[in-house]
Amino acid sequence: METKTLYHQIFDAVREDIEAGKYAAEQQLPTELELTKHYGVSRITVKRALEELELHGYIDRKQGSGSFVRSAGEWRASECHERLHDTVAFILPSFSANGLSQYIQGASEAMEKRGLHLSVHTTHENTVKESELLRTLPKQGMKGIIYYPTNSSFNIDVHTLHMNDYPIVTIDKHFEGPSARSVVSDNYAGGYMAASHLAKLGHKRIAFVSSVGLEAASSVKHRYLGYSQALKDNGLPCDAELVLLDFLRELGSLGSERSFKKIVEKLLSNQVTAVQAENDYVAVQLMKAALELGAKVPDHLSVIGFDNSIASAGAVVPLTTIEQPFRDIGRRAAEMIMNRLETGRTAESCVLPVTWIERGSTSSLFTHHR
């Protein structure tokens, strides 16, 4: 027999009292403190039960005044509504986000085992839409949110949900300071791994290329930090001229052949022999541009990506890359949400290991014919 959480037991007890007429319409419920003493539980548990009662339409909670019973005609405890309250939202920046299907698969498999459902939403990389979803989904009854942020700049909506003890976990990126918990790949280790590999192959001028700025994505920032530390540990200087960031703003939209050709031309003119790209997409586009300019990969330019996306193995030159555990990230994020709902305790953020995937896009400097 399934054991209900404490807050769910209190929700059931108060709901049954309301349905039995113990509390009349418009009558005020006992305070959070009184309910805490009556049931012998924490105030957070009582607060969570009252939130569920409000979401199911049994009460109105008025800040500074208390909780008041609604009329029977306003109760919204239908079977359809109950299903809504067994749902966790998954917010993605787009339907082409890296690892999308694996994130969703990992999360949904974990939740199905506990009778929860996953509702997928996309922001189309629109920060206004992002804010709208973060504010409305909890009010619609979603039990929690798994959130892939567009960027990792401070987010007032995420911070507010976190401070109000609403279950929310971010993936891919994390926010600095007291904010939502996160599940991310070990981007630092991956960045270090890639640059160390290139250094050991004899490359002296290794570029780091990203379509976004380091302040916009914690994931990319940590890949860069790993890259720069690996250069230092291998006796190579960090050269700001070999770090090309946020090139989309200067050169145009992602996917523009002209933009990537300009990047490759700049790298080759600076005697760069190896490139560490932000992700597989950027890496593949750089390889295409290099080949169109007559530079061979890896003979003239070694390239490493990040993600191990489907496109990486099938690229014109199979891409050496760092594999992210997308499915495990989705699963772990869902488990953190569910454990928070069941125990009331918030798990610590976690960093999952990455895997080295070597293919044909890198070679020793000594095989290059420049």
pLDDT tens digit sequence for 175-227: 887 778 999 999 999 999 999 999 999 999 999 999 999 998 999 999 999 99
Phi/psi of residue 324, each to 5°? -90, 145
- CB 330, CB 336: distance < 8 Å: no
Task: Domain 187-324+357-367: give its CATH code.
Answer: 3.40.50.2300
- Per DSSP, helices labelled H in the chain are 6-19, 32-39, 43-55, 79-84, 100-112, 127-136, 156-163, 187-200, 218-233, 247-251, 257-269, 280-292, 310-313, 326-343
Instruction: Assess contact for 290 and 221: CB atoms under 8 A.
Output: no
Local structure of 181: helix, strand or coil: strand
Three-class DSSP category at 113: coil
Task: With CA atoms as reference, report the closest residue to 45 among 91, 4, 102, 1.
Answer: 4
How far apart CA 346 and CA 10 sit, in angstroms, is 20
User: Which residues of the chain have a pLDDT value below 70?
Assistant: 1-5, 72-85, 95-98, 248-255, 366-370
- Whole-number pLDDT of residue 368: 54
* Environment class of 2 (CB within 10 Å of its CB; exposed 0-12, middle 13-18, buried 19+): exposed
Q: What percent of the chain has pLDDT over 90?
A: 53
187-324+357-367 and 80-185+326-353 share a CATH fold: yes
For 6-77, CATH gives 1.10.10.10
What pTM was computed for the model? 0.76
CATH topology of domain 80-185+326-353: Rossmann fold (3.40.50)
> Residue 148 in contact with residue 92, Cβ under 8 Å?
yes
Q: How far apart are CA 225 and CA 191, in angstroms?
A: 7
Gap between the Cα atoms of 53 and 216, Å rounded: 39
- Residues 2-57 have pLDDT tens digits of 345 677 788 888 888 888 888 888 889 999 899 998 888 888 888 888 887 877 77
Question: Which H or E element spans position 41?
Answer: none
Domain boundaries, the chain: 6-77, 80-185+326-353, 187-324+357-367
